[in-house]
Structure 1
Amino acid sequence: MNGVLSRRAEGIQLLRAHEEKLSCPHCAQQVTVSEEGRIACENNHSFDVAKQGYVNMLTHAVQSMYTKDLFTSRKTVLESGLYDDVQRTLASYIENGAVVLDTGCGEGTHLARICEKSGAFGIGIDLAKEGIIEAARHYKKEAWIVGDLAKSPFPAATFDAILNILSPANYDEFKRLLKPNGRVIKVVPAERYLTELRQQLFADSEKESYSNAQTVARFNEAFTHVEQQRVTTTMALTPELVPHLLNMTPMGWHRDETKDITLSHITIDVDVLIGTYK
C-alpha cells in the first residue's frame, strides 16, 4: 500500500533519529545510519537493519537457551497483567522524556509498557536474537538491538536510566553508560517470588526457598545512593496461562514431566532497587 512504511523502513527511520545513541561495538567509534539501513563507523565496521526493524550488533557468535516459544509465552504472561504493578513502579522512577536502556529486554513487553506509562524513549538490548525479533515485530516506538554489554554498542553517558529486570547485571558498564545522576533500576526476586510454583517443583529441597540478600548487598556496594521498594502481587491464574508460566521461567525448564503442576494463583514478589550514579 502506498504511503505505508515497511517494518524495516520504520526501524531505519527510528535508528537514524537516534544514531547519536549508538557506537561501534568493535572500536567504540561514532556510527552513522544511512537511509538504506547500513550502520557504519569510520573504520568501516558495519551492521544492517533487519527486515523486522532491529539491528544485530554482536561482534561474535552467541548461543542462547532462549527460544521463540519462550518469548511467546513470556509475552502472553506479561499481557495477562501479572507484572502490571511492577511495571507501574518502575515507570514511577523514570521521567517524561528520559532515554532508557533495558538490558536483557527479551521480547520487549516490559520496556514498551514502561515507556508508555512514563513518556520515555527506550532502547532494548539482548543477546537472544529470537527475543529481539519478537520485540521489533510488536513494538515500533522503541529501538531494538541484538548485542552484548561486554562489547557495548553505546557511547558513554547516553542514558538517563537503565532497567535490569530479573537478569544479570554489569555495573561497571551501567555506570559508563549513565548520564550524571542517572539511575539503575534493578528488579530481583524476593522471598515469595513464584512461591506456589517453587513449592510444587522443588518441594522439600533447598530450592523451595530463596534469598536475594547477596544480590541486594552487591547492588548497595555498587551505588552510593540506593532506594529499595517491595512489590508483591498475587493473582488468579487461568488453566491456559500455567504452561506459559512454566515455559517462560528457568524453574520450569527441568521439571519432571510426569508430575502435574496445578496452579490456581501465583505470587509476584520482587524488590525494586534504585541506584543513583553521581
Structure 2
Amino acid sequence: MFKKSKKLIRAERIKDSLEIFSCPICSQQMKVMHLQSLVCINQHCFDIAKQGYINLSSRSTNSKYDKQIFEMRRIISQSGLFNPLQAAVSDIIVSHLQDNEPIRILDAGCGEGSHLNRIQTKINQKKRNPILAVGIDISKEGISLAAAEYSKAMWCVADIANIPLANQQFNFIINILSPANYSEFQRLLTNHGLLIKVIPEQHYLAELRDILYKGTDKQVYSNTPTIRYFNERFNLIAVENIQYQVSLSEHLIPPLLEMTPLSWGASQESREQILRMDLRKITMDFKILVGMIPSQN
C-alpha cells in the first residue's frame, strides 16, 4: 500500500489553505506547483522541504538560536514545565470562541513548535471547532524540528518583520516569550481577532537569575517597557498572571540552562555553579496580555 510522504501530506494541506499565503517578495497570491513548491504569479518560487515545512524567508539571517538550543527547549517543554502556561493560553482562546467558529491560530516566533502543538491539543480536548494552525520562525533549525515532530500545524521559515501571509486571515495570534511586530499582527488579525502575548514576569527562572546575575542590574527583571509598548499598539482587554513552581529532575538542569538566553551573557563560573547545585525547584512566572486592534472610529 502506498504511504504518502510527510512532504506530500503537508503539500496537500498547504494547497487546501492557499488563501492564507502571500509572496514575501511581491505580496501576490500563491499556488502550489506539482505538490513541490509555492509559486506566485510573478514566478517567485519557494520549495517545500522534505520535512514538510516551507522556507518563505526572503533574506538570510544570523541567529544565536541554533539546533541544540531548540532541542533543549523541546526537552524542557515535553517535560511539562510550560504545561500550566499552555493550558492558560488555550483556555483564553476557547473562552472567546463563537459556537462552531473555525479557529485560525498563528504562532509568531514559534521556535521548535512545542507551544503551538500543546495549545492546539488542549483546544481539541475542549472544542471540536476546525483549527488551522500556522507556526512561523526566522530560524530554519527551529522550524525543521517543529515540522519533523508535530504534524497538526503548518510550519514556515519567515521573517516577523515581513510575514508572508495574507491580510486578516487569523482570529488568534499567539506570541510567547518572543519578539513582536505589532504592525504585522494588526494586518493579519481579523477585525475582532485577539493577540495573546506572553512575557516573563519578575520571578521567571529566578533561581537561575539570582546566581547568573547576582549583584548586577540584570538580577531584577522588569517588563514595564514591553507592557507600555503593547498598550500603545493594541487595546488591552485582559491580563492574566501565571506563577507556579515546578519540581526539577537533575537531568533537566543542563537543558534548562542551555535553552534560556539568561545564560548567554553569564560567566562560565556561574554556569558551572548551577550545574553543581542541587536545584530541586524552578519558578515559572508569566504575564499574559490579551489585546484587540484599536477601533478606527
Find out whether 1:167 has 2:178 as its counterpart: yes
Give unpaired runs (5+ residues) of structure 2: 125-130
Q: What's the RMSD between the two structures over aligned residues?
A: 1.2
- C-alpha distance in structure 2 between counterparts of 1:214 and 1:241, whole Å: 31
- SS of match in other structure, 2:92: coil
Aligned to 1:8: 7
State the Cα distance separating 1:137 from its structure 2 match. Answer: 0.1
| Conservation of the 8 A alpha-carbon contact between 1:108 and 1:124 | yes
**Alignment partner of 1:260 out of 273, 288, 297:** 273
State the Cα distance separating 1:244 from its structure 2 match. Answer: 0.4
Moved more, 266-275 or 93-102: 93-102
Aligned to 1:186: 197
| Conservation of the 8 A alpha-carbon contact between 1:106 and 1:126 | yes
- C-alpha distance in structure 2 between counterparts of 1:205 and 1:151, whole Å: 36
**Alignment partner of 2:107 out of 102, 109, 130:** 102
State the Cα distance separating 1:221 from its structure 2 match. Answer: 1.6
- SS of match in other structure, 1:3: coil
- C-alpha distance in structure 2 between counterparts of 1:121 and 1:265, whole Å: 36
| Conservation of the 8 A alpha-carbon contact between 1:246 and 1:253 | no
Number of equivalenced pairs: 277
Deviations 1:24-49 (A, max 9, x none): 01111110113332101111111010
Find out whether 1:248 has 2:276 as its counterpart: no
Give unpaired runs (5+ residues) of structure 1: none
- C-alpha distance in structure 2 between counterparts of 1:238 and 1:256, whole Å: 24
**Alignment partner of 2:237 out of 226, 240, 247:** 226
Q: Report the residue type matching 2:273 in the other structure.
A: D
Aligned to 1:48: 47
Find out whether 1:125 has 2:141 as its counterpart: no
Q: Report the residue type matching 2:189 in the other structure.
A: L
How many percent identity over aligned positions?
A: 39
Find out whether 1:210 has 2:221 as its counterpart: yes
- SS of match in other structure, 1:52: coil
| Conservation of the 8 A alpha-carbon contact between 1:12 and 1:35 | no
| Conservation of the 8 A alpha-carbon contact between 1:16 and 1:34 | no
- Report the TM-score, using the length of structure 1 for normalisation: 0.96
- Report the TM-score, using the length of structure 2 for normalisation: 0.90
